[in-house]
Chain A
Amino acid sequence: MSARAQVLMWVGQRASAALLAICVFVHLATMIYAVRGGLTAAEILARLQGHAGWLAFYVVFVLAVAVHVPIGLRAVLGEWLGWRNAARDWVLAGFALLLLAAGLRAAFGLYGAIRGAA
């Protein structure tokens, strides 16, 4: 992997971390607010389904996770297990796609576009 690609991954991890800080805060704050307000799961789902704003929010959240987690794991695998070859990067690229697919499936499931996904 070129030095430029490594640096861009570093930038991607910092940028996604900034997004995640906001996303996690909004996610947790909304969840606590909804539960304390006494909403049931069905009532929460009813509010989320068909709401384009929440869909956009969770798509951004999922994208940030799919960028952030594999890059962080890359450093962990390199530093703790000494795994630094190209195979590591391919495995992590696959893991990123898995996170992306699972996350988007959940986000679109909440939105109601995928029947039975959420």
Chain B
Amino acid sequence: MSESGTEDAGMLQVRIWRSGEDGGGFREYRVPRQASQTVLDVVTHVQRKLDPALAYRYACRVGMCGSCAMTVNGVSRWTCRTHVSKVAADGRLEIAPLANLPVVKDLVADMREFFDKWARAQGQFAGATTRHDAFAQVSPVSEARQAVDAGIECIGCGVCYSSCDVVAWNPDYLGPAALNRAWTLHQDERDAAQAERLRAVAGDAGCHACHTHMSCTERCPKHISPTAGIAGLKRAVAMAALKGEL
């Protein structure tokens, strides 16, 4: 495949990870360059026009569902909102599945462990009232409510989990997304499972394993800072431990 010349003008050189019985490897494709083209558009072109056996995952195409995250030129990204022009200045793309997760096939990562950790971090809201009680009055300007606002827009794409060094080193680590979820619930004044949640996120596999590398914060497509939430959890859990409430 030549690297220059009229033959390649307007074409992208794309390497896509394909699973195989030998462990898998990258396969090369040539994809026509389009205006306003996203990385997901490129993958879709490959699957529809060049290689129907390619497996990948997407749903909404507008940055809401968190299904289409992949590793693009070595960086985890949501592919539906990542323009080719932003990441492939030299016309080359290397697309792989998310890191730190098992691969089902090709670009499809197995998200089970990722979401199981949300449950392990006590990521479920635990209400203490019934439908017969009045609505809770939560001040929108309270510090706690604003902390919830800062972390609540997570779409569960797994970009932070895939980018986290601590997840790579410690497979038990709950990871940035699950801890961010726990943090938003910790700040929810209606939640009635605070002590259990602090216990769930404490210690070696929890918030205290975070090294504050901030890759999650750097790469979160929703501009959430899981690092900030994890730091808040570290303080809350430490206070509970010192008071003997853990």
What interface size band does chain B fall in?
10 to 19
Contact digits for A54-82, partner B, Cβ 8 Å, 1 yes 0 no:
00000000000000000000010011100
Tell me which residues from 78 to 119 in chain B have a Cβ below 8 Å from any Cβ of chain A. none
Inter-subunit contact B208/A10 (CB<8 Å): yes
With A11-B238, A11-B241: A4-B202 Cβ-Cβ less than 8 Å: yes
Answer whether residue B154 sits at the interface, using C-beta atoms and an 8 A cutoff.
Answer: no
Inter-subunit contact A7/B237 (CB<8 Å): yes
Which label, helix, strand, loop or mixed, suits the secondary structure of the B interface? helix
Inter-subunit contact B169/A6 (CB<8 Å): no
Give the distance to chain B from A64, nearest Cβ to Cβ, in Å.
18
**Cα of A80 to Cα of B202 in the assembled complex, Å:** 21
Q: CB < 8 Å: which of A6, A79, A80 contacts B203? A: A6
Inter-subunit contact A6/B166 (CB<8 Å): no
Q: Which residue of A lies closest to B246 (CB)?
A: A4
Inter-subunit contact A10/B238 (CB<8 Å): yes
Q: Which of A4, A11, A78, A84 has the most CB of B within 10 A?
A: A4
Answer whether residue A3 sits at the interface, using C-beta atoms and an 8 A cutoff.
Answer: yes
Which label, helix, strand, loop or mixed, suits the secondary structure of the A interface? helix
Answer whether residue B204 sits at the interface, using C-beta atoms and an 8 A cutoff.
Answer: yes
Instruction: Count residues on chain A whose CB falls below 8 Å from chain B CBs.
Output: 12
Q: Which residues of B contact A4 (CB under 8 A)?
A: 202, 241, 244, 246
Inter-subunit contact B166/A79 (CB<8 Å): yes
Q: Which of A3, A75, A80 has the most CB of B within 10 A?
A: A3
**Cα of A84 to Cα of B170 in the assembled complex, Å:** 10
With A78-B204, A84-B204: A7-B170 Cβ-Cβ less than 8 Å: no
Give the distance to chain A from B179, nearest Cβ to Cβ, in Å.
14
**Cα of A80 to Cα of B246 in the assembled complex, Å:** 28
**Cα of A30 to Cα of B96 in the assembled complex, Å:** 54
Inter-subunit contact A7/B208 (CB<8 Å): yes
Q: Which residue of A lies closest to B238 (CB)?
A: A11
Give the distance to chain A from B97, nearest Cβ to Cβ, in Å.
23
**Cα of A3 to Cα of B242 in the assembled complex, Å:** 12
Give the distance to chain B from A100, nearest Cβ to Cβ, in Å.
23
Answer whether residue B15 sits at the interface, using C-beta atoms and an 8 A cutoff.
Answer: no
Inter-subunit contact A6/B202 (CB<8 Å): yes
Inter-subunit contact A7/B203 (CB<8 Å): yes
**Extra contacts besides A4-B244, A6-B208 (7): CB < 8 Å:** A3-B199, A4-B202, A6-B203, A11-B238, A78-B169, A78-B170, A79-B166
